[in-house]
Every structure is written in C-alpha cells, then in structure tokens.
Structure 1
Amino acid sequence: MSDPQHSVLLNTGSRMPLVGLGTYELRGLEDIMLTVDAALAAGYRHFDTAAVYSNEVEIGQALRELLPKHGLLRADIFVTSKLGPRDQGPMAPAACQQSLDQLGLEYIDLFLVHEPGTEGLRVEDPQNSANRAQSWTALEEFHSRGKFRAIGVSNYTVRHLEEVLASCKVPPAVLQVEFHPRLVQTELRALCAQRGVCFEAFSSLGSGALLSDPAVLEVAKGCGRTVAQVLLRWAVQQGIPVLPKSCNASRVRENGQLFDFELSQEDMDKLTGLDCGQRYDLDPTSVA
C-alpha cells in the first residue's frame, strides 16, 4: 500500500494513499497502539481521525512511538483530521490549532470540514452557510502557513460543494462522503471529476448492511475473497480511496489486501447495479 501506484494525486501535487485506516469509535491508548501497529505492519500509510472521534491525542502518540519501530519517518505517512460541527464558524481557527496540538504534529496532511451543518443550529438556518464560509477561511489560513498540506470537506452535497468552489481562494483537494454499491453518488462524483476534487469513500460496507447482501456474497464467493475485500476493491478499482476501520489485527490486514486481485467488469457492474440511494450515515441534503 506504500507503493505510489496505490495512491491518488491530489490537486495540491501531493499523493494520498488509496487505503487508509479509519479510526471512528477506536478509543483507548492500548487498543489504538495495537491497531496502529498492526496497520503499519500491514502497509497502511494513511490514518484518518477527527476532532469528534476524541482520539487525536492517542493517534498522535501511537504514530510517534511506532513509526521508528517500522523504520518510518513522519514524511512516510499521511494523516487526516477534521473540524467538528460544534466548531464551525468563529471557533474554527482555535479548533484547527487544537487538532494540531492534540495530534502533536507540525503539520496535518489533510484537514476537512467534517460536515456542512453547525452543532446547535437547525438544519434550515442560513447561518450554517455563513459558518461554513468562515470555517473554510480558517482552513485556507492554516493551509497558507503549511500547517495543513491539503484541505477539503466531508459529507457535502453537490450544492454545498458548488458553494465552496464558487467562493474559495484554495479549492478543496478532497471530498469525503458515504459511498458503497447502494449509494454510488453519480452526480457528486461527476462534479468532483470536473473540478479536480478527489472523491473519497467512507462507510464502504454500508455500516455492515452490505456484508449479507446476496449479490455481494455471490461476487465474494466467485473470487475467493472476503465480502469486505470485495466492497473495498469495488471502490479502489474505480480510483476511489477507502477508509476501512477495525480494531482486529487480522481484519486490518485483510482489509488492506486489495491490490493482488481484480474484479471482472461483470462483477463491477453487478455491484454498481445495487444502487438505490440508501444512506446508513448522516444525511446532509437538508442542511441550508
């Protein structure tokens, strides 16, 4: 996974690995150390966290302590974090600095606005839009100082992405959204491709719902791979980065083994044909 061929080129000129370790719900220093150690051993070089995950301190500590063990330097890994919805708007500059401080890093490779809404505001409140703009200005400032090597957004719809693209000084490098065979996000992906924004997937397993889907099970059986590997490979084969999460060392290794097999076009089409617009995570469509 550390092979440059297994990465995507961002509009900043830097590369982001196609497979990253998602760390949502990963808590406690002991478990984080074990999981990060297993991930580094398996070749993971991308680690995705967020302020709302409440694990930035432990992720940073684990990376600092474990990189030397694996013969790695800070420059060998890619770290993503995110601005929490409670910090949208005026609180954004302080929250950006807090993520840097908690991770204990000189810079963060990618920093995202976690979602388009602001905690405590009704979804229809127009202040959501004003706060997003203020947050983006803060991210641009940290980017200009080299503290955030790339900046982007998460959980944005076409409307939200078009809004930031129309007003930004620095365009988003990445859009991270829910993406799996039941939610293929065709319009959003087309906009990203048109504007040079990397489309990145989370919830590739549909919060686990797709693990028992008959069509996915059939594809997995046919190619002798786990259902999770098939779902992750379906995205990666389209050039879309994924962020599988697990605290089980063997599953961490399995989820990263995506580059020694290829799905047939028939299997790709079979999976894509499951699209029904089903979301299992946050639905941002009604946020003003």
Structure 2
Amino acid sequence: MPLLGLGTYKLLSPEDVYRAVDAALAAGYRSFDTAAVYQNEADLGRALKELLPKHGLTREDVFITSKLGSEDQGERAMKGALNSLSQLELGYIDLYLIHWPGTQGLAVADQRNPGNRAQSWATLEELHAQGKLKAIGVSNYTPAHMRELMQSCKIPPAVLQVEFHPRLCQTKLRSVCEEYGVCFQAYSSLGKGKLVTDPVVMEVAKNCERTPAQVLLRWAVQQGVPVLPKSSNPDRIKDNARLFDFTLSDTDMDRLSALDCGQKYCRDSKDIV
C-alpha cells in the first residue's frame, strides 16, 4: 500500500472525481480511497478505467480502498461488500474496511453491535478467501474494538484507518497496532483544515519553505504512517504529493508532536460497545 493516497470524501460529481483522479495520477498518486457512504464508488471506477490507459497504467498499478457502510453492518455485510465491488467494476478491491464499529440505527450501547461487527468481519474473511478483497481491515476502531477483533478473527486486519494529526497522536492505538502487526493509516491529517493555521505548523512550514499541509502530511509519513489527503483542486493535489523530497528535523517533529492534546475533529467511536 502506497504511503500517499487520494481521499475522495465529498467528491460528489462524476466531473469532480474525474478531474481529481486525472490530477492525482499525473502527480504520482497510485492509491485511491473511497467508501460506500461517499456515494462515488461508481464514479471512481469509471474514472480509473478511462484514465489509467491515458497515464500508461493498468489496474494492477493502483491500490483501491473502499469501506462497508454502517447500514450494512452484520447480516447485510455480504450485500454491501458485493455492491462496492459491483459499483467499482475493477475486478477486485485491494483493501476493504469496516468503516465504523457501530451499526446504523442502533444506540452506541446496544449489545448487538459486537455481534454485528463479528458477522461483518466473517463476511470480509470469506470474500478475502475468494480473492475479491485482496486485504481487509477496519476504520475508526478503538483499542478495545481492536482487541476484541484480534481475539475472534481468523484473518487479522491488515490496516486500521483513523484520524491522526499532531493534535491527535493516537499513542495507545498505534501501540496496539504495533503489537498486532497492523498497519496504522491516517485520515484527516489536516484536522479538517484547522491545523494549517496553527502557529507552530505555520512556523515550521515557513522555515522549511513548504506549505503547512505538506508539513502536516510529512509529519505522518516520516513516522511510516500512510496518509490520504483529499482535495478537488488539481494544484493542491499536486502540492500535497510533494512529501518525499524533504525531511523534517527531529526538533520540528518534536515540536509538532508536542501539540498533542487528544483533539478530535471527526466522529468519535469511543462509546460504541
């Protein structure tokens, strides 16, 4: 799985998806992240089929991630996963995640949530064995959810995808992933845009002659954490890819990590049983 991928959340029109994928392929992106709830799987699949030949690439050159929606958690998991495969029309999905540990329509304390998660995972394991899902994993799981899964799964998750940035260093969760050999992947690396105006981030960026976004993304990849910046702007997509021709100093890395305060900008799954 590449360290850099394009997130497609909020790319809602076929034109936006096509333009973003075209710019990303030109800038060297080879990983694309979507989900059932983004409602753009079909648009992404069509864009890739049209654009891969243009850029001299084949299906095997790109890494596609999608996710099972919480409305399909449990007994509907097979239908949900097969729908993602059908929408994308790419033959297989490189990485398929359970998007959320809860079930749509159930309260966070509902005791059916663990059983639904387990049923969903068993479905993903079945599709993995069939070769339709090359790797399987989870998103937004807490340390407790991870330990629960590891105790019951036949195939361990390849990836955990969660919110991660200097204000949310996720030390405990990263430790759990390291313990179990699970790849820890970041989303919302810019803190929904809040972090690009942080004084420390801006100062580090100025000293590096880089953008705040590049510094935030580099902070993650320099720790071996894959990132999924999302944008519909071709110039920004290109800028976000410039992560591998500079290095942050140990001092700058420490200054950024010192911003950690447990701040979450996205939905929190900590109360889901």
Instruction: Name the TM tier (shorter chain).
Output: over 0.9
Listed one character per residue, the Cα deviations across residues 38-73 of structure 1 (whole Å, up to 9, x for unaligned) are 000000000000000000000000000000000000
Matches of 2:111 and 2:156, distance apart in 1: 22
2:21 is matched with: 36
**From 193, 196, 201, the counterpart of 2:178:** 193
Return the offset for 1:264: 0.2
- Equivalent residue letter for 1:272: S
2:78 paired with 1:105: no
Q: 3-state DSSP class of the match of 2:64?
A: strand
Deviation at 1:171, TM superposition (A): 0.2
Equivalent residues in 2 for 1:114-133 (5 A)? Answer: 114-133=99-118
Following superposition, the deviation at residue 239 of structure 1 comes to: 0.2
Partner of 1:49: 34
2:72 alignment partner in structure 1: 87
Distance 1:157 1:126 in 2: 17
CA deviation after TM superposition for structure 1 residue 119, in Å: 0.4
| 1:172 aligned to which of 139, 149, 157 | 157
The size of the alignment, in residue pairs, is 273
Per the alignment, residue 208 of structure 2 pairs with 223
Q: 1:254 aligns with which of 239, 242, 257?
A: 239
Aligned partner letter, 1:127 = R
Residue 32 (structure 1) shift: 0.9
Partner residue in 2 for 1:138: 123
Distance in 1 (alpha carbons) for counterparts of 2:196 and 2:216? 9
In structure 1, give the amino acid aligned to 2:126.
Answer: E
What is the TM-score when the length of structure 2 is the normalising length? 1.00
Query: Which stretches of structure 1, 4 residues or more, deviate above 3 A after TM superposition?
Result: none
Partner-residue secondary structure (3-state), 1:217: helix
Q: Classify the secondary structure of the residue corresponding to 1:108.
A: coil
> Deviations 1:180-214 (Å, cap 9, x if unpaired)?
00000001101111111000000000011101110
Q: Which runs of 5+ in 2 are unaligned?
A: none
Distance in 2 separating the partners of 1:80 and 1:157 = 20
1:233 to 218, 239, 252: 218
Q: CA deviation at 1:108?
A: 0.2
Q: Give the alignment of 1:10-29 within 5 angstroms.
A: 16-29=1-14
Identity %: 64
SS across alignment from 1:192: helix
Partner of 1:265: 250
Q: By how many angstroms is 1:27 displaced?
A: 1.2
1:276 — aligned with what? Answer: 261
Q: 1:154 aligns with which of 136, 139, 142?
A: 139
1:220 offset after TM fit, Å?
0.4
Could you say what the CA RMSD is over the residues aligned between the two structures, in angstroms? 0.4
Structure 1 unmatched ranges of 5 or more: 1-15
Rounded to whole Å, the distance in 2 between the matches of 1:30 and 1:195 is: 41
| Paired residue type of 2:57 | L
Report the alpha carbon displacement of residue 30 of structure 1 after superposing the two structures with TM. Answer: 1.1
Could you tell me how far 1:260 is from its partner in structure 2?
0.2
Q: Is the partner of 1:140 in helix, strand or coil?
A: helix
